[in-house]
Amino acid sequence: MARLTSNLLLAIANLVGALAFAWPFVFSSVDGARLVPYAWAVVLPVTLVIVAQSLLAHDRDIRRVTRSETLVALAAAVRPLGAGVAGLEPIWAVILLSGRALGARAGFVIGALAIAISALITGGVGPWMPYQMVVAAWAGALPGLLPRLRGRPEVLWMAGLGLVTGIVSGALLNLWFWPLAIGLTPEIAFTPGASALSNGLHWLHYGLLTSMGFDVPRALVTATLLALTTPRLLPILRRATRRATFTAVMQGADPAQ
């Protein structure tokens, strides 16, 4: 029952997150369209924190929970290192490695909590934070869903995932403010009531013109960090999170025998 409840909460969190990003392409009413992101700014963090608490509470492997909390703290600590500098965001490499070592569920929790805690520490709380939490949660979960690999193929997988994450995360994070931006040319502006295809093309064009200078360096830095650290750190993380094994002693038996 506990497993079913946590799975249901996880599904709800992913659905809510997907809707938060998809609304500019499906919201048909002009009136109130620009208020939607602020509603998600309230709903998303509450949902993600509830899910994270549920997943941690139902994980009976204390070593895994401890490692998850340690990786959350590490990711939150390294995030300020790249503040204000395009591409220097080591937090993504930590989140991706965590998800690969501990699995998709733990990666989801680590990504979401790392962003929330680092935002509280650095004062980066705002309407953008819930969207960052969702993207980081998805980034943490994805490596745990990939096929089981070892050695050089896994390093290449992780480096490639770093490239994809760097680009896609930037494109998704544009969605928290792009619909609210004013003064944009019609070719790249969000148009309430327009078709999904039209607004989708405007969003892609906007990203190419404005955020690629940040997204490409982020992708290259993340891929490089993963290529360098995956063969060294991933085996260590895996060994550290293996379940402890205990030998049962029969009641009444002589331990010396």
With respect to residue 251, please indicate whether it lies within any of the assigned structural domains: no
Nearest to 82 by CA among 209, 225, 207, 178: 225
Owning domain of residue 43: 2-240
State the total domains in the chain. Answer: 1
Type of residue numbered 167: I
* 35 in any annotated domain: yes
Task: Give the three-state DSSP class for 9.
Answer: helix
Q: What is the pLDDT of residue 257?
A: 44
What's the pLDDT tens digit per position in 167-206? 999 999 999 889 888 889 999 998 888 888 999 999 999 9
How far is it, in rounded angstroms, from Cα 103 to Cα 11? 16
Question: Has residue 187 been placed in a domain?
Answer: yes
- Tokens matching residue 39: 């509603």
In a domain, 219, yes or no: yes
Residue 249 maps to a domain:
no
Residue 111 resides in a domain:
yes
Give one word for 193, left, alpha or beta, with left for phi > 0 and alpha for psi -120 to 50: left
Q: Write down the pTM of the prediction.
A: 0.84
Indicate whether 257 belongs to any domain: no
Mean pLDDT over 230-252 rounds to 64
Residue 138 belongs to some domain of the structure = yes
Q: What is the pLDDT of residues 83-133, one digit of tens each?
A: 656 678 899 999 999 999 988 888 998 998 899 888 888 877 888 888 899
